[in-house]
Amino acid sequence: MAKRVNLGIQGLRVNETECEILAYIVHRAREQRGLGCDPVGLSRRSLSLAVGCSAQTTLRSCAALEEKGLVSADVRHAENGAQVANAYCVTALGMEIARLYEERFGANRLEESVA
């Protein structure tokens, strides 16, 4: 079970895995478009590999991030109807959480998990 992370925002509970996924989405959005709030296409598998957790944990964490209003996910489909990578967009609150997380635990932590 992932440890809870206290980022000083009253009433908001996030765990380490949720923060790692959030930070990774912001990182990828910045890589692709320069802004962390732009939508970025990511599969659950790529998220799982990037943060080092199971696909089920990734699914639960992404659902929790959506429920808490930190990200929005757009389920996308190919022309033949097959599901492709979801498009994740980090909200303003999500951007603030990612910033606080990076400040507290350092951006190097994210870069190590991506490398």
Kindly report, residue by residue over 65-83, the tens digit of the pLDDT: 999 999 999 888 889 988 8
CA separation (Å) from 94 to 8, 29, 76? 14, 13, 21
Residue 43: strand pairing partners: none
Q: What is the pLDDT of residue 19?
A: 93
In the predicted model, is pLDDT for residue 91 greater than 50? yes
Question: Order of strands across the sheet with 83-90?
Answer: 40-42, 83-90, 71-77
Q: Work out the pLDDT band at 5, boundaries 50, 70, 90.
A: confident
- Yes or no: say if 38 and 89 are a contact pair by the CB < 8 Å rule: yes
- Yes or no: say if 2 and 12 are a contact pair by the CB < 8 Å rule: no
The dotted CATH code for 4-114 is 1.10.10.10
In the predicted model, is pLDDT for residue 111 greater than 80? no
Q: Work out the pLDDT band at 1, boundaries 50, 70, 90.
A: low
Q: What is the pLDDT of residue 85?
A: 87
Q: Work out the pLDDT band at 36, boundaries 50, 70, 90.
A: low
Q: What is the pLDDT of residue 4?
A: 85
Q: What is the pLDDT of residue 35?
A: 65
Share of the chain above pLDDT 70, in %: 87
Q: What is the pLDDT of residue 37?
A: 67
